[in-house]
Structure 1
């Protein structure tokens, strides 16, 4: 299971600080929710075989962006490519690659699954599951 370093370099940090308002919805969400629970939620759905996957926290945050902004998989990919607030929220530097829409749907269907996906976006009961 891949994990982003979460480190945004100083150049990107300056850009993000200049362009993203301090009261932006994504900054508020990031300050309230610790998304590290996602690693435990999906750890049994990953294998040690093959290439490293995309960071599941980033992938769940992409699903959250879709939900919040009513975006499809291709639409969220396009927004992540151009929206600095989206990139900051996902922990991506300006030059980092963006997952494609099929990677997002694969994560939602095969890694997260219907039950956890529905619980996260409807009643947050996922935190009580083993």
Structure 2
């Protein structure tokens, strides 16, 4: 008997943790253990204006550039597309499934 995918009502809530879906031996996990950007905002505070449009988080920017460098993604537009699709990239950039990629 051939099975058929039921197309019932979609779930309203999902329990999904990115941490559980990134392998322990993934390259980005190794880099994340060594990368400490906790003081980055403190060092860059003087370079940002208090008025105007809010900028992209500098830690997110650095993390995305590291991903681009490690995986040979030269285009920033392509990097944003890849970060939107790849769960490991989202995890490394500290983006949840709902967060918008800049």
Query: TM-score normalised to the size of structure 1?
Result: 0.61
Pick from 55, 58, 64: which aligns with 1:56?
Answer: 58
How far did residue 57 of structure 1 move? 0.4
Question: 2:80 matched to 1:77?
Answer: yes
CA distance in 1, matches of 2:36, 2:19: 21
**Partner of residue 33, structure 1:** 35
CA distance in 1, matches of 2:88, 2:48: 29
* 1:1-130 map, 5 Å: 11-12=15-16, 14=17, 16-71=18-73, 72-99=75-102
Unaligned runs of at least 5 residues, structure 1: 1-10, 100-130
Verify the 8 A CA contact 2:82 2:89 in the aligned structure 1: yes
**Structure possessing the higher radius of gyration over alpha carbons:** 2
More helix by share: 1
Verify the 8 A CA contact 2:19 2:91 in the aligned structure 1: no
How far did residue 61 of structure 1 move? 0.8
Moved more, 88-97 or 45-54: 45-54
Q: Which runs of 4+ in 1 moved over 4 A?
A: none
**Partner of residue 6, structure 1:** none
Q: CA RMSD in A?
A: 1.8
How far did residue 42 of structure 1 move? 2.3
